[in-house]
Amino acid sequence: AIETGLVPGTPIAGGGGDQAAQALGVGVVEEGIISTTIGTSGVVFAASRSYRIETKGLLHSFCHVIPDMWHLMGVMLSAGGSLRWFRDVFGKEEIASAEQSSLDPYHFLISQTDAVSAGSEGLIFLPYLSGERTPHNDPLARGVFFGISPRHQKAHFIRAVLEGVAFGLFDSLELIKQLGINSKEIILSGGGARSEEWQRIITDVFDMPTVTTNSREGAAFGAALLAGLGTELYLTPQDAVSKTIERERRM
């Protein structure tokens, strides 16, 4: 209290990094639970009962916010950021439509992909707009649209972005599975999880069921749960999750 100016007796709870708190905030509290977050960047996160390392340094290995647990994490730098870039550069019409409605530009962008089949008719997007971390670890990597033909329309490019991000995240999932951590489903969170079409693509690419939760502010909510644990509002992380997290849309 003397050093910080806090009132004597103020409860102080240990926090955590943003992704570890995010994982708690969506229910990743036991080994065998894996989450994927699509924000500006993309993260595939797995809890682990023991310290595991990927020998080439392609995955991050850190302490979890849960006592006596670790986590493995793969990160791509431009997940939702890739779609935001596309919106800002090529989505002027969608932005204008959003300004005249209660919907956001992403709705108008992604809804165009309904008529585009899986694979975007051979159009491939590499989502390395800002370099990449997992698994390439290359700051000089750059984004690419490959396989463009006259039949490709704007909707194909939008779907190619969604698919390219999904396959980029799948790289991290494969590395985690190679270290012996498997899951029967993926918990999906972040802004990208609001899109049913993007969730469907990730479900197909991962070849695994995905589920969203009622937690809309994962990292902040995880920090709040840590405060609840520190003040003994909850007995264990599992107790906190069971009382607050509900699963919603499953594919």
Alpha carbon distance 227, 21 (integer Å):
11
3-state secondary structure 71-105: EEEEEECCCHHHHHHHHHHHCHHHHHHHHCCCCCH
Token code pair at residue 221: 């909510």
Q: Please, what is the end-to-end C-alpha distance for the chain in angstroms?
A: 50
Of all helices (H) and strands (E), which one includes residue 189?
A: strand 186-189
Enclosing H/E stretch for 240: helix 237-244
SS3 at position 45: strand
Q: Which of 18, 104, 171, 204 is catalytic?
A: 18
Residue 177, amino acid: K
127, 161 contact by CB (below 8 A): yes
Cα dihedral 84/86/89/91 (nearest 10) = -90
How distant, in Å, are the alpha carbons of 30, 38, 240 from that of 250?
20, 16, 22
Q: Is 18 a catalytic residue?
A: yes
Positions marked active-site: 18
